[in-house]
Amino acid sequence: MKYCLVILLTSFFLNRAAPSFDHLSDQPNILLIMVDDLNDCIEQLGGHAQSLTPNMTRLAKSGVIFKRAYTNAPMCGPSRSSMLTGVLPHHSGNFYQAPWFNNEVLNNTRTLMEQFKQAGYIVSGTGKILHHLKREVWSHFENPADYSPTPFDGQNRLPHPNVPSPFSDIGWVDGSLGPFINLQGRTSSEGKPLHWTTGNPNMGYKPMNYIDDDNRDLTPDEVNAQWAAQQIQHFANTSENHPFFLAVGFLRPHTPLVAPQKYFDRFPLDQIKLTVIKSNDADDTHLKMAYQDGDVHALRFGKEMFEAISQAYGSTEAGLRRWTQAYLACVAAVDDNVGQVLDALDKTALKDNTIVILASDHGFHMGEKDYLYKNSLWEESTRIPLMMRVPGLTKPGGQVEHPVSLIDVYPTLVDLCGLSKETMKNEKGHPLDGHSMKPFLENPKTRKWAGARAALTAVYAGDVTQGNPGLQHYSIRTQRYRYILYNTGEEELYDHKKDPYEWFNQGGKSRYKRKLNKMREELRQMVHPYQLLGFAKLK
């Protein structure tokens, strides 16, 4: 019944009055796949030697992968709103998790979905695309973001019952990891019976059956993969000439890191290799100075998660083994979901006229610098997977080394599809900040690109700043260097040619003085005309 309703709704959108464009039948379709909190733990990026991502790998090999792609804000909300409105955080003041549609600049700028809908596309989506859903920007939107499955006691969502304190004390989202288990007979600390559930208070809770991997309901990610695959088949069978923009957003490997047992079995705990970590690596860094006044909990959270998981499992190594196993399991699970959608597309004639783009909203630390979270300005938090396949343009196996960022996605897609680059609804909006990556898609080695030499990332310094661009923390990443400026005046400089793990902060070294000055000036130009407090406080 539910699928019939989806078909009826889709048919309505296909047959309703739409703008008449002579070129619509020739326009390429768009398939956008978003994966939440995915760092470089995929085979093509080499973030972890044990990662298993055959489907994302085959997509990357079939087109172009950007080896140095970065988020513009390493938190879900501002990253996605920036990417999908084409406006950098310092131009909108949207640096953190406030709904994008409550921001005057972003609300008066057309989203990527609105731009395609205005051009006559059928714009459908499901899962987590924007952090805050506004259905009006879509022709049809199926399932809101759902962070479950989670254990449920009839009133509260809880962490996985096998996770010890103090890590479980963090809560059901970030303090939970492990394979699905049969909860029959299991109770909460208050003696209430537990069962798996999906949903949330806004969309309602739905019990999820789990006996074992062969007798269970689908996870939300699996439901969205199935729906997207069905939509692609429907588009392939329709006789209408309207192109489509289809977006599917997968939650894993966002916490809670829960997945079917079969994915954990692929990564035996006693065989887990930890990411490359240097002892006392945080000693020459300055994030701790940025949160010492206690204003932003999310700036401290990575350190707190690291300490909590170390205590919960008896040692840092044991805790990180558990985390790494769960993260890799969730990455493998979402890779299967990606594969289901790609298979559906590649089995139809739509493959020859559909642009496929896969991206994450930001990275995630795996214990480097005693940190286990996102929302830092270091490589592990800011680097993202980004890959594109454009029929008739990209050649298989392309690899781009020049830094780009998510802000470049919007202008790239409108360029490839010949859409208007005018995205402001009125004078309160803001024009596109990024640049089309089409030159890299044509020639991954090209040096002819109108975009910036560096990728810009901002981290929120707290509500006390009221979104003032000059009061935030910033980083820029060139092909060789990373420069970080906190609003406290502390700086970090990393030379990736000599130091790919960012182990040695060269910010205070005399031999890097000229480079430091150059990177300072580059950051100044990128955030102009705003005057950064960090520069005024330079030590």
Question: Residues of the chain with pLDDT > 90: what percent?
Answer: 89
pLDDT confidence bin for 238, thresholds 50/70/90 = confident
Q: Per-residue pLDDT for 2 more than 70?
A: no
Structural domain includes residue 8: no
pLDDT confidence bin for 299, thresholds 50/70/90 = confident
Range of the domain at 193: 28-419+447-536
Could you tell me how far CA 516 lies from the centroid of its own chain? 30
Give the H or E element holding residue 339: helix 316-346
- Please, what is the end-to-end C-alpha distance for the chain in angstroms? 65
E-assigned strands of 361-422?
383-384, 386-389, 398-400, 404-405
Kindly state the average pLDDT of the residues 372-388.
98
Measure the CA–CA gap between 284 and 271, rounded to whole angstroms. 32
Largest Cα–Cα distance of the chain, in whole Å?
Answer: 69
Handedness of CA 502, 67, 439, 353 (dihedral sign): negative
Kindly state the average pLDDT of the residues 393-409.
98
Structural domain includes residue 97: yes
- Output the pLDDT for position 157: 97
Structural domain includes residue 234: yes
* CATH number for position 228: 3.40.720.10
Give the H or E element holding residue 211: strand 210-212
- Output the pLDDT for position 13: 37
Domains held by the chain: number: 1
Q: In the structure encoding, which two tokens stand for residue 34, read together?
A: 């978003």
Kindly state the average pLDDT of the residues 480-489.
97
Structural domain includes residue 435: no
**484 Rama class: left (phi>0) / alpha (psi -120 to 50) / beta:** beta
Q: Which long-range contacts (CB under 8 A, 24 or more apart) does 44-50 make?
A: 44/385, 44/387, 45/383, 45/385, 47/275, 48/273, 48/275, 48/324, 48/328, 48/366, 49/273, 50/267, 50/271, 50/272, 50/273, 50/328
- Output the pLDDT for position 524: 98
Coil, helix or strand for 54? helix
Q: Which residue has better confidence, 440 or 10?
A: 440
Measure the CA–CA gap between 38 and 383, rounded to whole angstroms. 9
pLDDT confidence bin for 466, thresholds 50/70/90 = confident
Structural domain includes residue 20: no
- Output the pLDDT for position 297: 73
Walk across the sheet containing 491-495 and list its strands: 455-459, 473-477, 481-485, 491-495
pLDDT confidence bin for 288, thresholds 50/70/90 = confident
Measure the CA–CA gap between 467 and 469, rounded to whole angstroms. 6
Q: Which of 8-17, 213-222, 436-445 has the lowest mean pLDDT?
A: 8-17
Structural domain includes residue 159: yes
- Output the pLDDT for position 15: 36
- Work out the mean pLDDT of the chain and round it to a whole number: 93
- Output the pLDDT for position 225: 98
Measure the CA–CA gap between 224 and 241, rounded to whole angstroms. 25
Structural domain includes residue 9: no
Q: How many residues comprise the chain?
A: 539
Environment class of 316 (CB within 10 Å of its CB; exposed 0-12, middle 13-18, buried 19+): middle
Give the H or E element holding residue 302: helix 297-312
Measure the CA–CA gap between 70 and 330, rounded to whole angstroms. 21
Q: Which of 15-19, 63-67, 454-458, 510-514 has the lowest mean pLDDT?
A: 15-19
Measure the CA–CA gap between 527 and 17, rounded to whole angstroms. 43
Q: Tokens 């479980």, residue?
A: 168
pTM over 0.85: yes
Measure the CA–CA gap between 16 and 297, rounded to whole angstroms. 48
Structural domain includes residue 15: no
Q: Per-residue pLDDT for 384 more than 70?
A: yes
pLDDT digits (tens, 9 = 90+) for 74-111: 999 999 999 999 999 999 999 999 999 999 999 999 99
Q: Per-residue pLDDT for 252 more than 80?
A: yes
Environment class of 61 (CB within 10 Å of its CB; exposed 0-12, middle 13-18, buried 19+): middle
Cα–Cα distances (Å) from 372 to 73, 255, 511, in that order, read 17, 12, 32
Which of 124, 120, 138, 139 lies closest to 23 in space, CA to CA?
A: 120
Kindly state the average pLDDT of the residues 334-347.
98
pLDDT digits (tens, 9 = 90+) for 369-378: 999 999 999 9
pLDDT confidence bin for 7, thresholds 50/70/90 = very low
Which of 400, 326, 406 lies closest to 358 in space, CA to CA?
A: 406
